[in-house]
A and B are shown apart, each in its own frame.
Chain A
């Protein structure tokens, strides 16, 4: 029984770590992601638009298998986890070998290796030391520091560069896993929401994407906000002056613009939109008596605010309609933008308790402007504006950015840094002649390496020639 379980476990491990599984999983991810871009997706598309696009049965099927929200469906997350597991398994499977290779470099090539190495050359030498010195010098000229390796009865040389490149592929895969990890953390614990603030308003409640609300441990206040336009009227810049408030204290202030958010306590506030609330801040008016006796008075009224005109008369702003239309005997607003504004004032006489409805403009059937003891002129509208803030909390993003940097570095090593090695071994041939066996190996960019290898061999030959022509007494006797 135990044997059976173990065998099964090993089988699963083998399947997970095989490159075939990896490729199949990759293809599955590709196909499903592509489906997710072709089928309309739920949270982004409005429900009625979905209904317009697909028939009810079709929609039921799509919803049932989760194709209307591919990237948040359980099976997609499961698939991503499977991909991660496959990467981990494949890396674990291959890592020990690579690590051994990395940690214990192969410095003394044996006979079989020397025979099999594709890139090699033999240079005749007068004695071992001359050959080794010549090789050391030539390698040094190439930028390699050669190491003398002690063999049984002689020395050989080993030189290498960029051994780290053997590990680079693991850096890349680990970085990818780190990115996945960050993404999963954000999917589980991250959130996104929206806050709408008017000037001076503060709020500690965020409206989340799914309609729920989230309370923050602090409040954010909008001190001012605005929009700058290009000459042609298209928006150039939206900005908001924000303050973080906690227990009545101002903790931090920042002016945010579209590409420059405020971060406080791991929560980011982005400038997302800016626009009129459709609500009036102040209506500026002038008033003078109908008889023209008293002087003109300037008034500024907010909604439902009352101003005194004389000892008997007051005026109240009871309604403001930003974009009015008349229908069914009532005044409606069509939109929140100030397209076609109307204001409703009520002039009240305290003595007689008489109420007169004054309208701007004088809407027929509603306005009793002529009965009013005062004549009003609307001077200006001061509208309220809101600033829309996108709020997000992404605790996993640091893992993502770390992964991105790691991947950049890893890929640079994978593609552009080659692990290059040279071996130099003095060899006694069968006919008694002494030669220097020179071998080289690079793990990538082999063509360029071959060129360098040929250069090295030529240099060694030249050095050997120079050495042998030098006076004999300068030569150190060989230890062999």
Chain B
């Protein structure tokens, strides 16, 4: 019976390790490789911690298994159990070693944290070219782009743009277009409760907090359409806050903004004469009348 119990306690860490090993092939793992440099650095941190934890876990479980089995075998031991007041040396070791590991992790991750969170570390070129302001609300994402022709000379000017809308700003909802291949800054705010901007494949997650405008920096490596969701329970319609981030090469991104501008200033007539970036694009009125 003793051996049965010992085996049960040994079996579960084996199952835990086993399921950990097979999880990537079973799609229980990340939703794909990180598509942003910061995401890759976050993944690296994750894997480093995972390795440390795995080594410690296996070590402690093997030691425990050994002790259990040994105890199960030595039934004819010395009779009475030995009572120990502990070992000072051992206690010092098991305090200092984990503390050292934790300190190492704490310092090791600082750079990644600072690159993501400290605005002063963002490249000035990205800070002076805000891609969009995103206003989360129950239950959608409203997007405001500065006009492509709008340039910002100073950070104060960017702050000014965030404080006050401008007549030629461009507006969209639930589909954010960003250029690939360069660091970009978006500014997140909310008009009601807390929400969180979350693009899993980029590993970018940031709460939107009432009263704050929070900059987020990231770079998208590969042009594609990425899932964008709200990651903070924000009310009964939380699940409705599904959107997408469309990352495009510079040219496509600029063409999109041009088309957005043409659509937004459509008067139903002038579109006849103009041809948008997408080639044969007429204004809406003209399109409908042609039907």
A and B form one complex: no
Which residues of B line the A interface, CB within 8 A? none
Which residues of A line the B interface, CB within 8 A? none
